[in-house]
Amino acid sequence: MSRRKIIAGNWKMNQTPSQALELVETLKPLVADADVDVVYCVPAVDIVPVVEAVKGTNVKVGAENMYIEEKGAYTGEIAPAMLVDAGVSYVIIGHSERRDYFKEDDAFLNKKVLKAFEHGLTPILCCGESLEQRESGVTLDWIRLQIKSDLQGVSADQAASMVIAYEPIWAIGTGRTATSDQAEEVCAAIRQTIAEIYDQDTADKIRIQYGGSMKAANCKELLAKPNIDGGLIGGASLTEEFASIVNYNK
């Protein structure tokens, strides 16, 4: 089954609104002819200006986080309905930085995934193992556990429409990248897990990205793998290099 590739930038805590607009304008002509889905996942304050700036283009906007409640006394949090009203289509859930620094566990992330679907947002659900886990040989068990826990109560149709990003923690912000064979092994195991939870049709439809220092120099090899349907791009999404990744097949 052929799945359309999806390349998403994860800007993390970078780009003030004016810097965001500058970056979007620089990238606009460079990504305009992409034959992949292009998403910019941006900090909360950048959402409104970036949505405005990409109107009428092929680029969709994602949030980097959201809260699990509808509204109310949750100082500092952002409700899913706020994202939808602002024009957001995707939301990153469970990035390892949120799991680690903000102690977001799988039960909480499961609530976020369900809430995103309730509002018509497409989750980009992140999973990944630490270096210790990889070295002790529990990577695949750990990833299966994350996926199964985070997808409790998600229907087959919902799962088929979402994106999972495999991001080995040891490759995030370190400049180290998983080899394409290591990435493919885990992405194939994620697809197998989806087939076990749901069915083969759902597993064939879901899109699985690799994230963790994907850059122009290594994206071609990673994206050539049968179970890697795109990339969640960190540092390289903040420069023109992002466009080279988007246009990897040209």
C-alpha separations of 136 from 64, 140, 142, 169, 216 in Å: 31, 11, 11, 15, 31
Annotated binding-site residue? 11: yes
- For residue 185, indicate whether it is catalytic: no
Residue written as token pair 């994907």? 214
Annotated binding-site residue? 9: no
Stretch that binds ligand 3PY, among 19-27, 152-160, 165-173, 238-246 (CB under 6 A): 165-173
In the chain, the amino acid numbered 156 is: A
Q: How far is the CB of 90 from ligand 3PY (least distance, A)?
A: 13
Return the closest-CA partner of residue 124 out of 54, 60, 175, 69.
60
Q: How far is the CB of 243 from ligand 3PY (least distance, A)?
A: 16
Q: Of the two residues 202 and 237, which places its CB atom closer to ligand 3PY in the complex?
A: 237
Report whether 107 contacts 139 (CB < 8 A): no
The yes or no reply on residue 173 touching ligand 3PY (CB under 6 A) is yes
Q: Of the two residues 117 and 210, which places its CB atom closer to ligand 3PY in the complex?
A: 210
Q: Of the two residues 20 and 172, which places its CB atom closer to ligand 3PY in the complex?
A: 172
Q: Which of 43, 80, 123, 211 binds ligand 3PY (CB under 6 A)?
A: 211
C-alpha separations of 127 from 30, 97, 151, 193, 225 in Å: 30, 11, 12, 13, 19
d(CA 25, CA 22): 5
Q: Which of 23, 78, 79, 172 binds ligand 3PY (CB under 6 A)?
A: 172
- For residue 95, indicate whether it is catalytic: yes
Catalytic annotation, residues: 95, 167
